[in-house]
Structure 1
Amino acid sequence: MARRRFGERRIGHAGTLDPSATGVLVVGIGNATRLLRFATAGRKTYECDIVFGIVTNTLDAAGETVATHDMRLDPSGVAEAAAAFVGTISQLPPMVSAVRVGGRRLHEIARAGQTAAREPREVEVYRFDTRPTDDPLVYRTRVECGAGTYVRSLGADLGAALGGGAHVRSLRRTRSGAFTVAEAAPVAEAVLREPAELVRDLGQIRLSGDETARVRSGTRLRADRYEGSGPWALVDPDGILVGVHERSGDRLRATVLPT
């Protein structure tokens, strides 16, 4: 849909979003796709309901029920169990994910009625907050995590940790890196932004007019003016992105140019 909307075949995104999920999906168009890797690694925040007692084959409400459990929960016990998942954890990608195994995506293999061997991955969970609802088996959840974390798997694993099972419903990504759901718009209503928006999580160096001309002609700036190793987003006096640079010896070297 984005290709038709903007008449551009080069489209990329900063992290997949489940078909049944809603919320923020950061999209790069044309040359801006080169900058997406700087937006991909940012923290992501999700909200969802975890429904305890029912396990589905997709770990969410779109799947078929494969098991049920009689569970008795209390808010403090759920919160304590969720807290055990905060930190660096090992997570098995679900069969309905977009991970490739043998050149095929897992969800394609699953739709064909097959299974595939999957390798656990280390992911970061920074927050896993739960609160009860009017339904004693449904908890409203907020998860802040690193790239590559599957919230559906977190929900299922929390259910197992509490002696039963669970699935996720109403999954919504409310933040992706520096981008929030308040800024989001449907593709049909979206407007293009400056490429500098994709790297606004990076440290920024605002160049003078003379420095801008020198950098665009290939001159490397001295690095001793800046702390750290970068990368930095270099912008001209009008805030237009000139490039992403990092330290290379005593100079700044272009990592990505927007054109």
Structure 2
Amino acid sequence: MNGIDGILVIAKPGGMTSHDVVARIRRATGQRRVGHAGTLDPDATGVLVVLLGRATAAMRFMLGLPKAYRAEMVLGIVTDTHDASGTVVQVASEVKVSRAFFEDVTRRFTGEILQVPPMVSAVHHEGQRLYELARAGIEVERAPRRVTVYDIRVESWPDDPLTVGARVTLSVVCSSGTYIRQLAADIGEALGCGAHLGSLVRTRVGRFTLADAHTLDEVEALAREGRLRALVLPIAAGLSHLPAVAVSGEDARKVACGAQVELSAAEHERVTQERPEADTVCECDRSSAGIVRVHGAGGELLGVAKLEMSGRRAMIRPIRVFVG
């Protein structure tokens, strides 16, 4: 199979790491350049965005895409990992929580919040990942991180009266870097009964949803038949959160060669005034202001560029080129 450049949206099964998924797709396609745009825990299922070929060069612009989850909280039971894989460390004597009180508490966790990464996370501490320290029985102090929870809604509520082990299903839309297991534990603590994350499904990454996702079996079958391209989305599909700039003629040729070009005053004004919807903001944009995707006259994606000012002239300087 010839090399493929583009995006595969995978429905990750439980019991596999994101690296395991990448390895299977690498074997199925025979391609070395395969990556993903955001880790999903082994026990979690749902949307995993896999990048093939030149799309791997766009990874940095997709890692910060917002995520949506369907999360099941188990009330009244606390585990050492904040999820179902851990050891139970606390069981409440009762769960006296009304739906109104529950929803009032969850509202406190929307907006920009400070969240302490769990010990079972992949965050580094003095050269080691936290989960490696946790396996060795070591717990260290972690600095809180700012994350944004755009929305929390109750999808299903158990019959009253609630008992220990009652399960509440939430839909959560949040920024990249938000730990849902920690969110469940923090909400449980605020409720006064404790809680852990029973199960987790990632339903969306940016604009990619479960409806776009394919199973690994489907991918492998089509790869064997040489028809995998039917499932592959263009690189531009993962960059829709970036403002678009169109160039043509000699400017398009320059961009394809990695050379900077001047942007018209009208195009510069349009791009700088463009504002994405709140829950499609890519967190990577906070450190990459002025990043644009550049298209040719026919709509083809040429690359990603940095919008810069040179005196009174607006210039676009290519960062990644996907043609040639």
* TM > 0.5 fold call: yes
1:112–1:7 Cα change, 3 Å: farther
Residues 290, 307 of structure 2: 8 Å contact kept: yes
| Count of residue correspondences | 259
1:219–1:198 Cα change, 3 Å: same
Shift, 1:84, TM fit = 0.4
Q: Which amino acid aligns with 2:36?
A: H
Q: Which whole-Å CA distance do the structure 2 matches of 1:19 and 1:181 have between them?
A: 17
Shift, 1:114, TM fit = 2.6
Q: Does 1:253 align with 2:293?
A: no
TM-score scaled to structure 1, two decimals? 0.91
Structure 2 gap ranges (5+): 1-23, 220-230, 273-288
Q: Which moved further from structure 2: 97-106 or 162-171?
A: 97-106
Quote the sequence identity (%).
40
What are the superposed Cα offsets for residues 186-235 of structure 1, whole Å, 9 maximum, x if unpaired?
23434433222221221223443554223224443322223317322112
Q: Which whole-Å CA distance do the structure 1 matches of 2:159 and 2:30 have between them?
A: 47
Q: Which residue of 2 aligns with 1:235?
A: 295
Q: Secondary structure at the match of 2:71?
A: strand
Q: Secondary structure at the match of 1:24?
A: strand
Shift, 1:251, TM fit = 1.1
1:24–1:117 Cα change, 3 Å: same
Q: Which whole-Å CA distance do the structure 2 matches of 1:52 and 1:240 have between them?
A: 50
Q: Which residue of 2 aligns with 1:168?
A: 197
Shift, 1:237, TM fit = 4.2
Q: Secondary structure at the match of 2:133?
A: helix
Q: Which moved further from structure 2: 138-147 or 180-189?
A: 180-189
Equivalent residues in 2 for 1:100-139, closer than 5 Å: 100-130=124-154, 131-134=156-159, 136=162, 137-139=166-168
Residues 246, 297 of structure 2: 8 Å contact kept: yes
Q: Which residue of 1 aligns with 2:285?
A: none
Residue of structure 2 aligned with 1:226, choices 263, 268, 273: 268
User: What is the root-mean-square deviation in Å for CA atoms of aligned residues?
Assistant: 2.0
Residue of structure 2 aligned with 1:177, choices 201, 206, 209: 206
Q: Which residue of 2 aligns with 1:203?
A: 243
Q: Secondary structure at the match of 1:248?
A: strand
Q: Does 1:32 align with 2:55?
A: yes
Q: Which residue of 2 aligns with 1:8?
A: 31
Residues 194, 240 of structure 1: 8 Å contact kept: no
TM-score scaled to structure 2, two decimals? 0.74
Residues 111, 150 of structure 2: 8 Å contact kept: yes
Q: Which amino acid aligns with 1:235?
A: H
Q: Does 1:91 align with 2:131?
A: no
Q: Which whole-Å CA distance do the structure 1 matches of 2:322 and 2:141 have between them?
A: 39
1:133–1:210 Cα change, 3 Å: farther
Q: Does 1:193 align with 2:237?
A: no
Q: Which amino acid aligns with 1:114?
A: I
Q: Secondary structure at the match of 2:61?
A: helix
